[in-house]
């Protein structure tokens, strides 16, 4: 009997040889997912201040000002028009306000920056998909994602889930009425997808999608974001955001959000959670989004500066998320990626 041979001894190795498929730049691309501009969502921070202002420690991201002329958000509209010419299709808005209170009243006020900016973008750039973050952390004086209540014998206030989801549904409706085509509840309350979906449907907004933050971890990766929204938050959110090491909570949340009428499910943060993205893609019939959050942005940016190769760092990190199963990438690197993607073809 002829002894078995190793691959190197066998020479040709037709079944397992890789060099032929790697030789051509064209055939290398056959095996990779391709990132399209339509898959990118650009997160933006909007304020009622007159001037546009860079965010310290989070450059070149901006707090976009409403301006002082007849047309609101002139700097933002100019910025988005330029990116639109490069293929940008979607933005996600976060509000930054000074008038914070325990109830987060500014979240749905007529003059809140998200509503003013949504109307401005839809008027100036009607082809742009506007998505609005639905949460209370940017608007509450305590910085939590919902209304708090006292519980006898507990050492800290806890989230009032039912009061919070009623408020969130009102916020989502206000954003839909302003022109948002997706509302994106990031609060992590139980039952909020059902309540929001019902509220939208009852008021003639069945066509407005709900992007559910389904796997949102109590992560250390959010600090630059909190600075960007002038958050007053102290403490932790471990009583309503999921443990960073748990996949069981992510599975339960997927079943919950799908059953309640989510249009898209989201994984946040993204880079350390490819296993959850992959499992969602295998289990769910819904599109999977992931959010490369502010701390991940800073990490990638810092490493790219050390490596001297931002393009390679962004391609590897973002395409890796597509490979895991995501089809929507919410990323602060959207402007850079719009310049890079054409070269990857």
Annotated binding site for 5-aminolevulinate: 226, 237, 294, 332
Task: Judge contact between 148 and 110, C-beta under 8 A.
Answer: no
**Catalytic (active site) residue 343:** no
**Helix (H) and strand (E) counts in the chain:** 13, 12
| Known binding residues | 226, 237, 294, 332
The CA-atom distances, in angstroms, between 55 and each of 86, 109, 206, 259 are 24, 24, 36, 38
Structure tokens at 257: 């959000």
Residue 216 annotated in active site: yes
- The sign of the CA dihedral 60, 34, 265, 196 is positive
Contacts of 4 (CB under 8 A, 6+ apart): none
**Closest to 201 measured CA to CA, from 165, 237, 169, 226:** 169
Instruction: Please state the φ and ψ torsions of residue 193, each to the nearest 5 degrees.
Output: -65, -45
The pairs formed by 246-249 with CB atoms below 8 angstroms and a separation of 24 or more are: 247/275, 247/276, 247/279, 249/215
**One of 268, 278, 305, 315 is an active-site residue; which one?**
268
Best CA proximity match to 142, nearest among 79, 206, 77, 232? 232
Q: Which of 100, 199, 216, 315 is catalytic?
A: 216
Please name which of 96, 113, 94, 90 lies closest in space to residue 42, comparing C-alpha atoms: 90
Which residues neighbour 241 within 8 Å (Cβ) at sequence distance 6 or greater?
188, 216, 217, 218, 219
Instruction: Say whether the peptide bond before residue 60 is cis (omega within 30 degrees of 0).
Output: yes
Torsions phi, psi of 151, nearest 5?
A: -130, 125
Distance (Å, whole) CA 23 – CA 70: 58
Distance CA 291, CA 317 (A): 12
3-state secondary structure of 288: strand
Catalytic positions are 216, 268
């Amino acid at each position: 009997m002829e002894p078995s041979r190793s691959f190197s001894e066998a020479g040709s190795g037709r079944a397992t040889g890789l060099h032929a498929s790697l030789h051509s730049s064209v055939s290398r691309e056959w095996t990779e997912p391709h990132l399209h501009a339509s898959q990118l969502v650009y997160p933006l921070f909007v304020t009622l201040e007159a001037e546009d202002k860079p965010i310290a420690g989070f450059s070149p991201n901006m707090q976009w000002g409403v301006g002082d002329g007849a047309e609101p958000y002139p700097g933002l509209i100019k910025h988005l028009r330029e990116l639109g010419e490069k293929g940008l299709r979607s933005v996600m808005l976060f509000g930054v306000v000074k008038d914070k209170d325990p109830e987060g009243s500014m979240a749905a006020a007529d003059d809140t920056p998200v509503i003013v900016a949504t109307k401005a973008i839809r008027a100036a750039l009607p082809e742009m998909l506007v998505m609005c973050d639905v949460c209370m952390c940017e608007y509450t004086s305590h910085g939590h994602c919902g209304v708090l209540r006292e519980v006898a014998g507990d050492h800290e206030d806890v989230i009032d889930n039912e009061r919070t989801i009623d408020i969130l549904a009102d916020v989502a409706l206000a954003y839909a009425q302003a022109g948002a085509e997706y509302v994106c509840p990031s609060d992590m309350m139980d039952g909020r997808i059902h309540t929001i979906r019902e509220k939208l449907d009852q008021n003639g907004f069945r066509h407005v999608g709900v992007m559910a933050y389904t796997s949102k971890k109590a992560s250390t990766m959010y600090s630059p974001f909190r600075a960007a929204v002038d958050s007053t938050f102290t403490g932790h959110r471990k009583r309503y955001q999921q443990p960073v090491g748990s996949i069981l909570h992510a599975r339960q949340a997927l079943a919950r959000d799908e059953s309640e009428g989510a249009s898209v499910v989201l994984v946040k943060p993204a880079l350390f959670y490819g296993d959850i993205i992959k499992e969602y893609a295998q289990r769910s019939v819904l599109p999977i989004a992931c959010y490369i959050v502010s701390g991940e942005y800073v990490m990638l940016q810092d490493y790219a500066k050390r490596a001297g190769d931002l393009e390679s760092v962004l391609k590897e990190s973002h395409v890796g998320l597509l490979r895991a199963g995501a089809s929507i990438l919410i990323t602060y690197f959207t402007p850079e990626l719009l310049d890079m993607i054409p070269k990857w073809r």
